[in-house]
């Protein structure tokens, strides 16, 4: 934890030096508010264990951007978000963190390809304390616009969630921190301006790593999971297991611009995970409706 | 000749010059009947007689990360300054055949204006803020104007004679040449002309990123 803190302090220090040296930093704030519905919040393998709920979500991302040269810009943003669940209040949380992003263009003009490298860390404070922890992400995205209407991007990203507390182990040799997860992601996204106001985005993401799945007592899952802890989040006495899984997510987003700075967004995502050792599959459908506004 | 007589003679000359000038009132509509701002109306004398080019310096500003004005008509041979009124830096460029140029990352006003010495449409962009788009219309004649919010353009002080009059708009379908109208402009009465233009959609990069994405920041 000390190393992590030092890393963050170092990043913030470097960013402050860069931004204080540049007199022409530009600031901006992206805001979004809406609702999201997930029909398998618990990532349950068995249909009977699936839990669905709706959350009110708020996302804020604001900060400074410094143009380092003709093609390269460095951004430092503070991130804040909240999710308030209507039914399973243990999952409600607020998050605070920061993101550093370096973006460079290979050439001149809107169609020049670009590369963005980003790292972020967000601390989430949940109603159910054992879920509290840091979510880290680091990755790179390569993008290119084709004409006025089409865009394509590909990304690679590493994510990790580090829970702050470890529950007392209930089984010998199995840690009590099933919420510590990590994974590698590969993604592609195509965007299309259907009209001058309507942007469609089709995305596919493949992730391999660990996930947390909640279900009742299950000997088979227990055998192949490396971490397990009881969880009261969904009301029943259940267990959270950490298992290895490959996850594919396909999503379709429709964003309708109300003006240059405001948009209504509707996103549907279908997620399917195949657990290791033939434990089974689970899937979920997530629908998010939000209003976004950009200040700058 | 006394000073008063000289002044009276000068006034007569000015009045006589304006009395011999023709006037053209143009109005531009979109195909749905709504008035169309930012259309450039150009009148080219058929006899080819044009006044000498003045080395004017025109201005296209960058304000709140937009080009202002969005459309700027200038005469061929004009110099254009691109002052950056924002407190950040911009990087102005154009790939358009009449003038390819680049003003790398700058704040304030660049030391040298840019010469536009070929007629045609020059599309402007900013390499930092991809949504910034503007147009310079470089006309071969000094007789041009841009439509206001009511779609109106008034060209006055035109020498009487025969003209080829045309219109251009950034979103118009088809070619500018297809809009040419031949007109006889006389001193006695203003002439009128109108167009209805079919428009393409305008696909501009957006300032607002998709949810969960950092956008250009």
Q: Any CB–CB contact under 8 A between B91 and chain A?
A: yes
> Does B107 sit within 8 Å of A253, measured CB to CB?
no
Whole-number Å distance between alpha carbons of B195 and A16: 56
Q: How far is A131 from chain B (nearest CA, A)?
A: 22
Find the closest chain B residue to A67 by CA distance.
Answer: B89
Cβ atoms A147, A158 nearer than 8 A: no
Which of the two residues, A25 and B3, has the higher pLDDT score?
A25
Low-confidence winner among A8-12, A234-238, B97-101 (lowest mean pLDDT) = A8-12
* A84 beta partners: A56
In tens, the pLDDT along A120-150 reads 999 999 999 999 999 999 999 999 999 999 9
**Omega cis (within 30) before B69:** yes
Instruction: Read off φ and ψ for residue A215, nearest 5 degrees.
Output: -160, 175
Max CA separation in chain A (angstroms): 62
At residue B19 the predicted structure's pLDDT band, cuts being 50, 70 and 90, is very low
Highest CATH level, class, for A37-53+102-295: mainly beta
Find the closest chain B residue to A254 by CA distance.
Answer: B210
Contacts of B215 (CB under 8 A, 6+ apart): A30, A294, B207, B208, B209
pLDDT mean across residues, chain A: 91
pLDDT at A10: 62
Q: Which one of B203, B209, B211 has the shortest CB-CB distance to A193?
A: B203
pLDDT at B151: 98
pLDDT at A296: 77
Task: Over range A146-168, report the average pLDDT.
Answer: 95
Instruction: Read off φ and ψ for residue B75, nearest 5 degrees.
Output: -85, 150
Question: Considering only residues 35 to 74 of chain A, which have any Cβ-Cβ distance to chain B shorter than 8 Å?
Answer: 59, 61, 63, 65, 67, 69-71, 73
Whole-number Å distance between alpha carbons of A167 and A176: 5
Task: Over range A260-269, report the average pLDDT.
Answer: 95
Whole-number Å distance between alpha carbons of A116 and B210: 16
Low-confidence winner among A152-166, A170-184, B187-201 (lowest mean pLDDT) = A170-184
Q: Which residue has the tokens 């039914």?
A: A87
Q: How many helices (H) and strands (E) does chain B have?
A: 1, 17
pLDDT at B217: 59
Task: Over range B142-165, report the average pLDDT.
Answer: 96
Q: How far is A20 from chain B (nearest CA, A)?
A: 14
Which of the two residues, B205 and A114, has the higher pLDDT score?
A114
pLDDT at A152: 97
Task: Over range A10-35, report the average pLDDT.
Answer: 73
Task: Over range B65-94, report the average pLDDT.
Answer: 96
Whole-number Å distance between alpha carbons of B121 and B72: 10
- Which sequence spans correspond to the domains of chain A? 37-53+102-295
Q: Any CB–CB contact under 8 A between B201 and chain A?
A: yes
Q: Which two tokens stand for residue B27?
A: 């109005």
Task: Over range B43-70, report the average pLDDT.
Answer: 92
Exposed/middle/buried for residue A70 (C-beta within 10 Å: 0-12, 13-18, 19+):
middle
Q: Any CB–CB contact under 8 A between B127 and chain A?
A: yes
At residue B17 the predicted structure's pLDDT band, cuts being 50, 70 and 90, is very low
pLDDT at A17: 58
With H, G, I as helix, E, B as strand and everything else as coil, classify residue B176: helix
At residue A47 the predicted structure's pLDDT band, cuts being 50, 70 and 90, is confident
Task: Over range A261-280, report the average pLDDT.
Answer: 92
* pLDDT exceeds cutoff 60 at B195: yes
* pLDDT exceeds cutoff 50 at B146: yes
pLDDT at B1: 46
pLDDT at A15: 59
Whole-number Å distance between alpha carbons of A128 and B61: 54
At residue A94 the predicted structure's pLDDT band, cuts being 50, 70 and 90, is very high
Instruction: Read off φ and ψ for residue B204, nearest 5 degrees.
Output: -115, 140
Whole-number Å distance between alpha carbons of B86 and B64: 6
* pLDDT exceeds cutoff 60 at B8: no
DSSP state letter for A171 = B
Contacts of B131 (CB under 8 A, 6+ apart): A260, B65, B204, B205, B206, B207
B contact test, residue of A192, A262, A294, A295 with most B CBs within 10 A: A294
Whole-number Å distance between alpha carbons of A111 and A38: 36
B contact test, residue of A22, A28, A30, A73 with most B CBs within 10 A: A30
Low-confidence winner among A14-18, A198-202, B179-183 (lowest mean pLDDT) = A14-18
pLDDT at A172: 75
Q: Any CB–CB contact under 8 A between A3 and chain B?
A: no
Q: Which two tokens stand for residue A44?
A: 């349950």
pLDDT at B15: 41
Find the closest chain B residue to A263 by CA distance.
Answer: B208
Task: Over range A71-89, report the average pLDDT.
Answer: 96
* pLDDT exceeds cutoff 80 at B147: yes
* pLDDT exceeds cutoff 80 at B44: yes
* pLDDT exceeds cutoff 90 at A170: no
Cβ atoms A231, A169 nearer than 8 A: no
At residue A19 the predicted structure's pLDDT band, cuts being 50, 70 and 90, is low
């Amino acid at each position: 934890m000390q190393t992590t803190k030092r890393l963050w302090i170092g990043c913030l220090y470097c960013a402050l030096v860069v931004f204080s040296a540049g007199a022409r930093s530009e600031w901006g704030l992206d805001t979004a508010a809406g609702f999201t519905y997930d029909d398998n919040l618990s990532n349950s393998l068995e249909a009977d264990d699936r839990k669905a709920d709706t959350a009110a979500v708020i996302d804020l991302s604001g900060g400074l951007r410094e143009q380092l040269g003709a093609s390269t810009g460095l951004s430092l943003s503070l991130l804040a978000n909240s999710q308030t669940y209507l039914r399973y209040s243990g999952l409600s949380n607020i998050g605070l963190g920061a993101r550093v992003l370096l973006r460079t263009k290979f050439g001149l003009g809107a169609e020049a390809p670009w590369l963005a490298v980003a790292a972020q860390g967000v601390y989430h404070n949940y109603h159910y304390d054992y879920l509290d922890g840091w979510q880290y992400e680091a990755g790179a995205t390569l993008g290119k616009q084709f004409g006025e209407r089409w865009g394509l991007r590909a990304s690679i990203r590493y994510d990790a969630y580090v829970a702050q507390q470890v529950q007392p182990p209930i089984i010998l040799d199995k840690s009590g921190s099933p919420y510590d997860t990590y994974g590698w992601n590969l993604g592609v996204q195509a965007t299309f301006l259907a009209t001058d106001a309507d942007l469609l985005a089709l995305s596919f993401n493949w992730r391999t790593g660990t996930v947390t799945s909640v279900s009742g007592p299950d000997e088979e899952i227990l055998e192949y999971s490396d971490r397990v802890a009881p969880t009261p989040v969904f009301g029943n006495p259940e267990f959270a297991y950490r298992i290895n899984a490959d996850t594919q997510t396909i999503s379709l987003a429709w964003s309708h611009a109300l003006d240059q700075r405001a948009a209504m967004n509707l996103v549907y995502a279908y997620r399917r995970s195949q657990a290791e050792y033939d434990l089974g599959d689970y899937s979920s459908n997530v629908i998010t409706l939000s209003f976004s506004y950009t200040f700058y | 000749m006394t000073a008063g007589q000289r002044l009276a003679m000068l006034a007569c000359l000015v009045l006589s010059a304006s009395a011999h000038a023709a006037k053209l009132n143009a109005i531009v509509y979109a195909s749905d009947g709504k008035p169309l701002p930012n259309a450039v109306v150009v009148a080219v004398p058929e006899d080819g007689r044009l006044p000498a080019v003045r080395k004017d310096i025109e201005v296209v500003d960058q304000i709140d990360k937009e080009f202002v004005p969005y459309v700027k008509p200038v005469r061929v041979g004009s110099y254009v300054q691109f002052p950056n009124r924002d407190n950040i830096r911009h990087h102005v460029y154009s790939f358009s055949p009449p003038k390819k140029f680049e003003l790398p990352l700058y704040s304030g006003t660049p030391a040298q204006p840019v010469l536009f010495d070929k007629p045609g449409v020059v599309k402007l962009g900013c390499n930092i803020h991809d949504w910034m788009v503007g147009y310079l219309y470089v006309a071969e004649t000094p007789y041009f104007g841009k439509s206001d919010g009511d779609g109106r353009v008034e060209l006055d002080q035109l020498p009487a004679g025969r003209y080829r009059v045309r219109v251009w708009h950034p979103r118009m379908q088809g070619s500018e040449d297809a809009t040419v109208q031949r007109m006889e402009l006389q001193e006695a009465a203003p002439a009128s002309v109108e167009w209805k233009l079919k428009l393409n959609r305008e696909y501009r990069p957006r300032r607002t990123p998709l949810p969960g994405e950092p956008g250009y920041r």
